[in-house]
Structure 1
Amino acid sequence: MEIVFDPTVKTREIIMKCPRAGTLFKQYKIDYCCSGSRPIGEILQERNLNPTQILYELNTLYEKNYDEQRRMTKWEGQKYKDLIQYIIDAHHSYLYMILPNLQKTITNIFNKHGKTHTELSNAHYLFSILKIELEQHIIMEEELIFPKIISYEKSPTVNTLIDITEFIEDLEREHKHISQILKDLRDITDDFHIPEDACDTYRLTFVKLDELETDLFQHLHLENNILFPRLMKEMEKMR
Structure 2
Amino acid sequence: MQFSEATQQGLNRSQHQWLKISTNEVVDYVLERFHAVHRTQFPEAIALARKVEEVHADEPLCPTGLADHLAFMFQELEGHMLKEEQILFPMLRNNTHPQGPIMVMESEHEEHEVAIQKIAKLSHNFSMPDDACGTWRHLISLVREICDDLQDHIELENNILFVPEEVRAGNCCGGCQ
User: Which range, TM-score by smaller chain?
Assistant: 0.7 to 0.9
Structure 2 letter corresponding to 1:172: E
Compared CA separation, residues 71 and 206, structure 1 to 2 (3 A)? closer
Report if the CA contact (8 A) 1:165-1:232 is conserved. Answer: no
When residues 142 and 231 of structure 1 are mapped into structure 2, their CA distance, relative to the original with a 3 A threshold, is same
Higher mean C-alpha deviation, range 192-201 or range 175-184: 192-201
Q: Does the 8 Å contact 1:102/1:208 carry over to 2?
A: yes
Q: What SS is found at the alignment partner of 1:77?
A: coil
Identity percentage of aligned residues? 23
1:206 aligns with 140
Deviations 1:126-166 (A, max 9, x none): 21221111111111111111011102x2xxxxxx54xx211
Among candidates 104, 120, 131, match of residue 170 of structure 1: 104
Structure 2 residue 130 is the aligned partner of structure 1 residue 196 = yes
Take 1:235 and 1:115, find their aligned partners in 2: how far apart are those partners?
Answer: 57
Structure whose CA Rg is larger? 1
For residues 192 and 202 of structure 1, the distance between their equivalents in structure 2, rounded to whole angstroms, comes to: 10
Judged with a 3 Å threshold, the aligned counterparts in structure 2 of structure 1 residues 71 and 87 are, in CA distance, closer, same or farther, namely closer
Instruction: State the match for 2:63 in structure 1.
Output: 120
Aligned to 1:106, which of 43, 46, 49? 49
Q: Is the Cα contact below 8 Å between 2:19 and 2:160 reproduced in 1?
A: yes
Tell me the secondary structure at the aligned position of residue 169 of structure 1. Answer: helix
Corresponding residue SS for 2:78: helix
Deviation at 1:230, TM superposition (A): 3.0
Bigger relative contact order (CA 8 A; separation at least 6): 2
- Give the partner amino acid of 1:83: V
User: Which of residues 181, 184, 193 in structure 1 aligns to 2:115?
Assistant: 181
- The answer to whether the 8 Å contact 1:165/1:231 transfers is no
Superposition deviation, residue 125 in structure 1: 2.6
Name the SS for the 1:193 alignment partner.
coil
Partners in 2 of 1:128 and 1:79 — Cα distance? 34
Change (3 A) 1:85 1:71: closer
Q: 1:219 aligns with which of 146, 153, 177?
A: 153
Match of 2:31 among 76, 88, 100: 88
More helix by share: 1
Q: Residue deviations 1:199-236, cap 9 Å, x none?
A: 11011000111111111111111101112233795794
| Aligned residue-pair number | 161
How far apart are residue 198 of structure 1 and its match? 2.1
Structure 2 spans left out of the alignment, 5+ residues:
1-11
Partner Cα distance (1:235, 1:150) in 2 = 21
User: Aligned partners of 1:196, 1:222: CA distance in 2, in Å?
Assistant: 35
1:142 aligns with 2:80: no
Report how far residue 111 of structure 1 moved: 1.2
In structure 1, give the amino acid aligned to 2:82: I
Distance 1:117 1:126 in 2: 19
Equivalent in the alignment of 2:6:
none
Q: Normalising by structure 2, report the TM-score.
A: 0.80
Deviation at 1:237, TM superposition (A): 4.6
